Chains A and B, each alone.
Chain A
Amino acid sequence: MSLTNSLLAKIDGLVLRARRQYLVFFTWRSIAIALSAFAASHLLTDSWFMSGLVAGSTVLMCLLWLFNSERWRAFDRENYLAFLNIQFPQLEHSAQLLVQDSRSSILHSLQSQKVGRALSALIKQQHHDLIPHYQTKQSLWACALVVGLWLILRALQPLLWHDVNVKPQVTSKSSAAPSITNIAVTITPPSYTQRQETVQSSLDLNILSGSTVTWQISTTDVAEELWLKFTDNSQHAFEHQQGKLYQISQTVTQSQVYSINDQSSSLTKLHTIAVTRDQAPQVRVLSPKPTITEFSKFSTPLFVATAQVSDDFAISKVDILASVAKGTGEAVKFRDHIFEFDSFEQQGQILQLEKSWLASELEMEPGDELYFTVRAWDNKQPTPQMSRSQTKIFRWLDDDRHAISSDGVLIDFMPDYFKSQRQIIIETQQLIADKDLLTEHEFSQTSRSLGYSQSDLKLKYGQYLGDEFDDGRGGHQMEAGPEMPEIHIKDGDHNDDPDAVIDDSPQLAAGTTSSNSHAEDHHDHEPQHANQQVADKSGYQQVITQYGHNHEDTDVGVMGAQSPQALMKQAIAHMWDAELHLMLSAPERALPYEQKALVYLEQARKAERVFVKRLGFEPPPVSEKRRYQGDLSDVLDYQQQQKPTPTDPLLDDFRALLYLLGQAGNELQFSGELTKGSLQQIERVKQYYIKQAQTRPAMMHYVTSLQQIQQQQSLLITDCRDCLVDLYAELWRQLPAPIAAPAQIRLNYSPSRTDVHEYETYLRTIATQKGQQQ
């Protein structure tokens, strides 16, 4: 009995060993499966954590499955004895008898003993077949194969991705965050431009407005989300393509500063998108050159107009807007017509156009006038841009009403729509007074509009004086001035303002023309100024040159001081200056010149043989009934509580930021940390520059600097020390001329000093005594 019991104990031990052996075998198989899962997961997600989690889970799942499986439960004594029966013939398939009750029969007992002895012998021999054999080699090979495959795929991963082979431009800021390894920026210009798309690796972009930009980046690790973050805090998520490849497309119409961020930090420094706007077409009337072309009463007028139109891309439409004016004064009537050109010739991007009319075709009679302007549209989509030439006038005279004085000066020639000099002065004064009420854009627009009026008036006078600039024909280089909204003071960028409102009416256009018919028409002074203009990046000099009266003086000097011609010339000289300042949006500076011009015009009017049409306002007479009444009952005492005119808060922001930058630059221990108020000021200044950058993309440089300050919340930005210097210089330039403030003296002695008081009294006494003696 004791033998059987000890044998059974040994059998149980062997069962346990067999089970353990199987567990090892099964674990290796699980590992092989888990490794496969890990490799697949890592290749897909590029995340060690995720892959580890997947692998661990796989092993766990396998083991759970194992412990719940029939196979695992099959490891018991009976099955084992059956296994022994198969393995060892000497047990005579009777090993199960060892666990059965042997008292039932003698044979059973004898066989049991025999089997027990045989089995004991086997156990004593430690026969190697006592335990089932499981092949773990296959599992190990499978593991090695999976690992090898995984390594190969990992090595080949970048090649399998995409044909992006540009070098990285950026590095990650944080070691924890993924860093960018490859960048490809594809710029697709608007289709109407017919320009090819370009690919670049730099994140600083210079593009046409409306271009579609596609950023394609790859990172070292898979990021959960990547964002394209702009200065206006808008952000757009990258699309995850595959593996570590991300892509986003945006249509860009405004200059911006942006960075690529993940959820926690910025993966790149700030980069700029400088947007160049599509230029409006340029229209230039080649003939007639004078603004007014006259035909005598008895001629048969044939009006011929030739024009040249060009655009940076393509012209979609050109026409002529013409108005026939009949009658005079309040009875004047206008009839508008739109004409197509008779012929056109394409020379590269320039269109040469021609049109001729017979006056009779337009139902014109002597005394009528034809105002016409050439309009051109480009192919910009969705809305084409339109430009218009200066208005030209054909006049069919009905009699010889224009008197010509003996010295050839003719002053009574102003068409009705020309603003008088006095009117320009009044409107300039009004503009100055309304400065606080107008937006900056409105103010400069009005000022330039007055500048054009002044230009027209000057041309008219100059035309009849035989001014050298317009060769007596009125076609002056001033007409070749830049389009109204394009006067750039700071950065020399020359972009059109497509939003400029253009009135189609030729009557108004004569006063406020936005002529584009110029550039090439600048006469031979241009070459000698060319170098200066190149050196002068501000563009200021260009405006001065274009509008300034910097030619040699005309023959004013040889004329008598009181000569009407000399007076008129002087008036025109002042008109030049007035126009210059109006064009520079400085009506305050223009006003004195306008006034001087008027003074000379008045003097010319009074001079001998000069006749000037009466100008100005004549007040209605006050009747005797209204005067000397002495009725003051409506006049009352009253009090007013007034508020001072608010100052421009942006200037205060500029000053505050300058002060802070000065501190950061000069003081040794300035931390550079910014308060909430300072950050708000910086935001306002940044918004100003963002606005500026829409027409002057170079301003984005300052936006970038301000954005960096905001991001770091410190003035001591690490990666761009020069940015602060540039920003400081720019802010300093923005400050206007200083206005002195009321101040009080600071005595260097205390006012309470009795000796000072006594000395004052003494001086007064002495002075009084001296006065009495005298």
Chain B
Amino acid sequence: MNIFAGVEITFLPDLAVWLRWAFAVLLLVCFIWTTQHVFKRLADKRAARRVSIGLLNLLVFGCIVLLVSEIDRTRSKIVAATLLTSGTNIEHVLANHSGDTKTFVLSAALSSKHHTQKLRLPDNWHVINQPEQLVIALDDLQKLTIMGDGLNGSQLRDLQALARSKFQQPVAIAFIPSEIRAGLIDMKWHNQLAIGQRQQVSGKLQLSDANQGLVNLSLVDPAGAVLSSQTLTANAPFKFSFIAKASGRWIYNLVLTDAQSNQLISREPLAFQVSQPTPPSVAIYQSAPSFETRHFKNWATAFDTAMTIVTQISQSKFITQYVNTSSDPETSDSLHQNNPSSQADWVQSDVIIMDGRAWLSLSSAQQQKLQQHVEQGAGLLLMADRQLMNAAAETGLFRSSGSEDSVGAWLDFDVRADEGRAVQTSSKMAGQGIQSEKAIPYLAAQIKVPKAGDKFDILVWNQENAPMIVSQKKGLGQVAVSLISHSYEWQLSGEETFYSQFWQRLIYNIAPAQSLPYWLSPQDNEISLTNHAQKVCAIANVDTDIHSHYINPAQQKIPLKLSAELFDKGKMCSRFWPLQNAWYELRVSDDKGTDKLSLYSYSQRHWQAWQQQRKHQATLAQAKQQITLIPKSQTQALSKLPIWLLFLALMSVLWIERKFYS
């Protein structure tokens, strides 16, 4: 081993070259002069003594040279650090640490036990609150060994972004994961729901290797009543589905207990907000009064839906009813004209519901006008009837697969009579997993959808999995055709909830998007954690004056600065930093309206298994990324203390020799 490899000595580094030479010459002269005097003084002594003293003198001068020089040693190595995250056995790491690696400990990794025991950490260990702080603290970093649960995606992104800007390259991650915790993982539920929407909770049970028995999982409502219970084995998926009773902020709980001992394993909160949505305006244009529309009106108007109902009562006579809205004074007189379908006050509604005969009663110009309105974003629900099917070929409304004439049809699917099929069936809603108990009559027809894809959306199926209601995108709007015209029978047979969900789903799928501004709900598999940044986004009209703030649990308003996203200027995002395990309310407003979003900030002790899983996944994914590490040469100044000591010792020996032995 060459201990002098990479050692570089610079004589008087801070002086000008001529001065260095001058000092060198001076030293040389001094050395020659002193050596000469040594030999002269010891001329009568033994030669060995003279040589010894001469050598000591030489060593002294050598020390002087080294002391006034800069001595550096250059080594090539990977600059590394270690980060201990939550889930790390700190005592174990402390017992085995080598001492030459810089180690950072996230404060979350220190349990209350550590705080109470006043754990003494080595000098080169630093406690930090956020992972980015280690990048700030270090001059260079190429490799970071993360131990414990790891970091979540957001933390890793922030860390790497900072590393790129500071070190000009990302940090290579090595990961030593912690032991698997027992609990619920892969959780997914809706953070925001409209009243009546079904909450669907899914996830998986994760058990530690030591415990692979059966566990009971119960869903408990806010009043403490168990809604549903399942017995699970390790890695078994589970699913719960329920409807929250009322609008508001609710915290349900998932309680995990040992099936045998009934001992509590974990109790995890499930927070979500159920809001009373702003309904779209709805117009009904019908060829005759019907129970279907009457019950629909009763349901929709109870939620402040603005409705206009135009009902044909004779060949040229109409009743126009307004609920939660009023007639336009300018057009009210003209409503007494022959055909109110030409008037704009109901045609401009967000959702238009028509029966087949009503559609056929419109002139082609009126139909075109309505089609334009739909393509600009409105929703149209056509309640199919025999007249519509019979006249479909003539009107060019549906595309018939066998007919070339129908190529230019407005809708790309066909509705045709099917006398042979049952006319009474239960219905189930696609994507909702719910089915009506009561069978209701429907039109003996079938909807022929060429190929289900993005263009079509089958909203309701019957018991034989035949589509009952199909919607198609037209421009910015949606057109749906329904074979169901007796849905009110659900209402009358005690299935009010199913009835309301049925219509909610229809309206939700065909109505235009909510008016701006509005908050985007966080992803179903995301939760907001205390002391973690939470990204929140709103869709807003950038041309208006947008204000946003959030209200913390102390009911204080804290401004929130929204900035437009790079690729979507209408999407404006911000980050807020919840500090308490509580509800936070975010508000965004512009000239036209306001929207509120309630977010629950979970404590770090909630959902620990899930948090661990997400962190493990994110950190492992990061660790798998190949980052080429080029060892960096690192110059290190050598300590001059030994030279000083040697110099002092030599000087002492020389002084003693001269004082006592000359």
A interface list, Cβ under 8 A from B: 429, 432, 581, 586, 588-592, 632, 635-645, 647, 654-655, 658-659, 662-663, 666-670, 725, 728-733, 735-753, 757, 760, 763-764, 767, 771-772
Contacts and interface: CB of A to CB of B under 8 A. Distances in A.
B417 interface: no
A640 B554 contact: no
Contact of A642 (B321, B455, B503, B507): B321
Interface string B495-510: 0110011011001110
Contacts of A581: 494
B326 interface: yes
A654 B245 CA distance: 11
A77 B570 CA distance: 114
Given A635-B314, A740-B500, A743-B194, A751 B513 contact: yes
Interface string B551-571: 001110000000000001111
B580 interface: yes
A644 B513 contact: no
A259 to B, nearest CB: 28
Given A640-B320, A645-B301, A588 B494 contact: yes
B518 interface: yes
A639 B224 contact: no
A592 B314 CA distance: 34
Interface centre among B222, B336, B520 (most CB of A within 10 A): B222
A742 B580 contact: no
Contacts of A728: 222-223
Nearest to B325: A641
Given A732-B222, A738-B243, A749 B539 contact: yes
Interface in B211-236: 221-225
B496 A737 contact: yes
B493 A744 contact: no
Task: Tell me the dominant secondary structure on chain B's binding face.
Answer: loop
Contacts of A640: 319-322
A666 B196 contact: no
B250 interface: yes
B194 A740 contact: yes
By size class, the interface of chain B is 35 or more
26 contacts: A588-B493, A588-B496, A589-B494, A591-B492, A639-B320, A645-B298, A659-B249, A662-B251, A668-B580, A725-B224, A732-B223, A733-B223, A738-B246, A739-B195, A739-B299, A739-B497, A740-B504, A741-B196, A742-B305, A748-B539, A749-B570, A749-B571, A751-B377, A751-B539, A763-B455, A764-B475
Contact of B553 (A669, A745, A747): A669
Nearest to A644: B301
B28 interface: no
B504 A668 contact: no
B223 A591 contact: no
A594 to B, nearest CB: 10
A589 B300 CA distance: 22
A669 B195 contact: no
A454 to B, nearest CB: 16
A746 B553 contact: no
Given A592-B493, A669-B553, A728-B222, A771 B407 contact: yes
Interface stretch (B272-280, B381-389, B611-619, B636-644): B272-280
B514 interface: yes
B25 interface: no
B317 A636 contact: yes
Nearest to A669: B554
B646 interface: no
Given A745-B511, A753-B568, A635 B313 contact: yes
Interface of B: 194-197, 221-225, 243-251, 276-280, 282, 298-305, 313-315, 317-324, 326-327, 332, 335-336, 350, 377, 399, 407, 412, 438, 454-455, 473, 475-476, 492-494, 496-497, 500-501, 503-504, 507-509, 511-514, 516, 518, 520-521, 539-541, 553-555, 568-571, 580-583
A637 B569 contact: no
A658 B279 contact: no
B553 A643 contact: no
A752 B541 contact: yes
A746 B399 contact: no
A747 B582 contact: no
A435 to B, nearest CB: 11
Contacts of A743: 194, 197, 277, 279, 504, 507-508
Contact of A744 (B223, B247, B280, B540): B280
A667 B582 contact: yes
Contact of B520 (A748, A760, A764): A748
Contacts of A740: 194-197, 243, 497, 500-501, 503-504
B335 A639 contact: yes
B494 A741 contact: no
B521 to A, nearest CB: 7
Most central of A591, A740, A746 by chain B CB within 10 Å? A740
Contacts of B222: 658, 662, 728, 732
A639 B321 contact: yes
B173 to A, nearest CB: 30
Given A730-B223, A733-B223, A743-B277, 11 more contacts: A432-B492, A635-B314, A637-B317, A644-B323, A654-B246, A669-B554, A738-B497, A740-B503, A743-B279, A745-B509, A749-B539
A644 B301 CA distance: 6
B322 A639 contact: yes
A663 B222 CA distance: 12
Nearest to A643: B323
Most buried by B among A581, A746, A752: A746
A752 B570 contact: yes
Contacts of A429: 492
Given A635-B314, A667-B582, A760-B476, A746 B513 contact: yes
Contacts of B582: 666-669
Contacts of B250: 662
Nearest to B301: A644
A591 to B, nearest CB: 6
A757 B475 CA distance: 8
A187 B582 CA distance: 50
Given A644-B323, A744-B513, A655 B247 contact: yes
Contacts of B455: 763, 767
B570 A753 contact: yes
A511 B317 CA distance: 46
B570 A750 contact: yes
A637 B553 contact: no
A712 B323 CA distance: 43
A741 B246 CA distance: 11
B279 A742 contact: yes
Contact of A746 (B196, B221, B350, B539): B539
Nearest to A748: B520
Contacts of A744: 277-280, 350, 507-508, 511-514
B494 A591 contact: yes
A748 B538 CA distance: 9
A773 B38 CA distance: 111
A521 B371 CA distance: 69
Contacts of A639: 319-322, 327, 332, 335
A645 to B, nearest CB: 6
Nearest to B493: A592
A662 B248 contact: yes
A733 B279 CA distance: 27
A725 B222 CA distance: 10
B386 to A, nearest CB: 23
Given A667-B583, A729-B224, A750 B569 contact: yes
Contacts of A658: 222, 246, 248
Contacts of A745: 508-509, 511, 513-514
Contacts of B223: 728-733
Contacts of B553: 667-670
Contacts of B454: 763
Nearest to B564: A750
Most B CB contacts (10 A, CB to CB) among A640, A725, A742, A764 go to A742
